Amino acid sequence: MTPRFIVFDGNEGCGKSTQARLLQQHLQQSGIASILVRDPGTTRIGELIRAILLNPDHDEMGMRCEMLLYMAARAQMMKEVIQPALDAGKWVISDRFASSTLAYQLGGDGLTAEQIRQTADIAIAGRWPDLTLILDLPVHTSQSRVTAKFLHKTNTLFGVETQEVKDRIEKRNRDYHERVRQNFLEQARAFPDRYRVIDADRPAEAVQKDVAGELRV
């Protein structure tokens, strides 16, 4: 079967948004219609939920609330955007999906993979991605890419650099992000027919070549 619902996932800074865009351009050149979505977000309701989730002031948010909000945003995106596109014969390229919840929220407040999968199954009405591409990156590289994104000069006269606020998830410590990476790799080991791991610690062109090879496009 030709995979039509493709997800790019991985730690922050792994280049998934870039690869998602490059894939869409590549499909377009081959005359294949596709849409690009980001999770959480894309819909009006999803973008509002995204803002609640990533607001660094929301310290009190519990893991179960967090997990369910990601799922709620995804449920809306599935119903409003993804399923209609698939029904219309288009490819769907998603920047993150349920694989992120299975990496970032797993183990939080005792949440198991089975519970997260069952909740996802409800949210997405059983329409799982055909292929999830995990762009794998060592955590130190991921973190330096994220930090670089947030460094900006506030005082050019004295050359002082300060760090802008990271979002609620990016602020979590390195051990957390290491577990997230391992959780992605574990999913790929558990479901080898639905996941591929691609080494993302390389130039974007090399990564893109592997992506095209995996999808045979």
Residue 147 CA to residue 115 CA, distance in Å, equals 33
Part of the chain binding ligand TMP (CB under 6 A), chosen from 20-28, 94-102, 134-142, 194-202: 94-102
Residue 189 CA to residue 186 CA, distance in Å, equals 5
Residue at shortest CB range from ligand TMP: 104
Q: Which of 45, 65, 131, 169 binds ligand TMP (CB under 6 A)?
A: 169
Query: Minimal distance in Å, beta carbon 82 to ligand TMP?
Result: 14
| Binding flag, residue 8, ligand TMP (CB under 6 A) | no
| Binding flag, residue 130, ligand TMP (CB under 6 A) | no
Residue 137 CA to residue 141 CA, distance in Å, equals 7
Q: Which is nearer to ligand TMP, 19 or 105 (CB)?
A: 105
| Binding flag, residue 12, ligand TMP (CB under 6 A) | yes
Token pair of 168 as six digits = 């609620």
Half-sphere exposure of 90 (CA within 13 A, CB side): 16
| Binding flag, residue 101, ligand TMP (CB under 6 A) | yes
Q: Which is nearer to ligand TMP, 55 or 154 (CB)?
A: 55
Query: Minimal distance in Å, beta carbon 167 to ligand TMP?
Result: 6
Backbone φ, ψ for residue 32 (5° rounding): -100, 125
Residue 121 CA to residue 112 CA, distance in Å, equals 14
Residue 197: other Cβ atoms inside 10 A: 17
| Binding flag, residue 4, ligand TMP (CB under 6 A) | no
- Shortest CA distance to 94 belongs to which of 66, 121, 125, 124? 124
Half-sphere exposure of 192 (CA within 13 A, CB side): 1
Part of the chain binding ligand TMP (CB under 6 A), chosen from 100-108, 129-137, 184-192, 205-213: 100-108
Query: Minimal distance in Å, beta carbon 125 to ligand TMP?
Result: 17
Residue 96: other Cβ atoms inside 10 A: 24
Q: Which residues bind ligand TMP (CB under 6 A)?
A: 12, 39-40, 70, 96, 100-101, 104-105, 169-170
